[in-house]
Every structure is written in C-alpha cells, then in structure tokens.
Amino acid sequence: MTEKEKEFVVKDRRAVDEKEELKEKPPEKKEAAPPPLPEADFTSLIFSLSSTALFHMGEIPDPETGEKTIDLSLAKHAIDTVSMLQEKTAGNLTDEEQKFTESVLADLRWRFVKATKQSA
C-alpha cells in the first residue's frame, strides 16, 4: 500500500466547538401561517356559536385529537347564547341574517333534543 492509500479524512460533525459553543445556529423554524379568519360579522358569530354547540354535542370531533366529546350543558349554553342574540337584535338584522339565525336555532334545538334522548 502506498502512503496515499493509508490516508483518511475525519470530519467533525459535532454541533459544538471546543468551547462548547454552537458552531452554527440551527435554521429558524418557520411556522405555518394560520388560516385566514372569516369576516367579523353577525353571521360569522352565529356560525361560530353553532359550531361550538355542535362540538359539545359530539357532532364535531376535536380538531387536535379527532375524538368526540359530549357536554350537553355547554351545548345548551351556546344555543341559549344564540337565542339571546336573536332576541337582543330583533328588528336590527337583515332578512338574510334573521333567516340564518332562525334556521341555525331550529337545527341546534332539534339536535340538542336528539342528543339528550340518546344520553338518557
């Protein structure tokens, strides 16, 4: 074997140097931008409260765990909040907002009765 064939190269891949300091800073993690939020209007508020009620009735799974949980008292609270908003805004909503709120309330109340019977 020649002298050249006996040579080998050692590369230091440690992240710290002799002084225990980082050789290179790790690349900064870029966080994914959150999805855009819906326009802040009355319909979006009612839709959000409706989603909350559906979540607590076990109709929508937890987005992080995928599990469905049922808490009918929290579902009732969300439904009651939509009902209160309907009463407090009477005469101040567009026809479309009024119809949407009525439709959402009717659907939520029907689903709540169904969920209550299933849990009994």
- Of the two residues 35 and 83, the one the predictor is more confident about is 83
- Of the two residues 71 and 39, the one the predictor is more confident about is 71
| pLDDT score of 1 | 56
Encode pLDDT of 1-57 as tens digits: 566 666 767 776 676 777 777 667 666 777 788 888 878 999 999 999 999 999 999
| pLDDT score of 80 | 98
84 in any annotated domain: yes
| pLDDT score of 117 | 92
18 in any annotated domain: no
112 in any annotated domain: yes
Q: 22 φ, ψ to 5°?
A: -65, 130
Counting the structural domains of the chain, the total is 1
60 in any annotated domain: yes
92 in any annotated domain: yes
Length of the chain: 120
Q: Distance between CA 45 and CA 101 in Å, rounded?
A: 10
HSE toward the beta carbon, residue 96, CA cutoff 13 A: 4
21 in any annotated domain: no
Q: Mean pLDDT of all residues in the chain?
A: 88
30 in any annotated domain: no
29 in any annotated domain: no
Domain holding 69, by residue range, is: 42-119
| pLDDT score of 4 | 61
